[in-house]
Amino acid sequence: MTIRDVLLPLFVEVILTFVLLFWTASRRTEAVSSGTRTANAFPNQLELSVLFYVLTILAWDTHHAGTIFVALAWLFVVLRLIQVIIHVTDNDVRRRGLAFIVGAIVLAIMWAIYMMDILVGI
């Protein structure tokens, strides 16, 4: 895998986080008077993302970012996008929660594969 292949999902996740940040900031005045879902979407986006950022950097730096890693990274980012879209639109907690849980499971699998690869050399 190239560095571009490995880091592109991370870049998309970073962009999504910044979009939410700037969207929240631009709507902050409106949020005070009417409330907005974007204010809650931004910190929510950071919860799992930090673990994703760290793992991506580690996987690249240790040369353990192959095709499966990149595929799972894209799946994680797509699930985060889905969660954000749900959060800032109808905010259906069941659908949003499902996207969060599945994303968390994907990230846990990524970490488990990485740890096993490093510790056991699978």
> Among the listed ranges 12-26, 35-49, 87-101, which one has the minimum average pLDDT value?
35-49
Q: Looking at residue 31, which CATH number applies to its domain? A: 1.20.120.550
Burial class (CB in 10 A: 0-12, 13-18, 19+), 59: buried
Phi, psi of 91, rounded to the nearest 5 degrees: 55, 40
pLDDT, tens only, 63-78: 999 999 999 999 999 9
pTM: 0.77
Domain that holds residue 94: 3-119
Q: Which token pair is 10?
A: 């991370």
- The number of distinct structural domains making up the chain is 1
pLDDT of the residue at 48: 84
Gyration radius of the chain's alpha carbons: 16
DSSP summary character for residue 77: H
Nearest to 1 by CA among 64, 45, 57, 46: 64
Average pLDDT value for residue range 7-13: 86
Using CA atoms, how far residue 105 sits from 75, 79, 80, in Å, is 11, 11, 12
Asked whether residue 1 carries a pLDDT value surpassing 80, the answer given is no
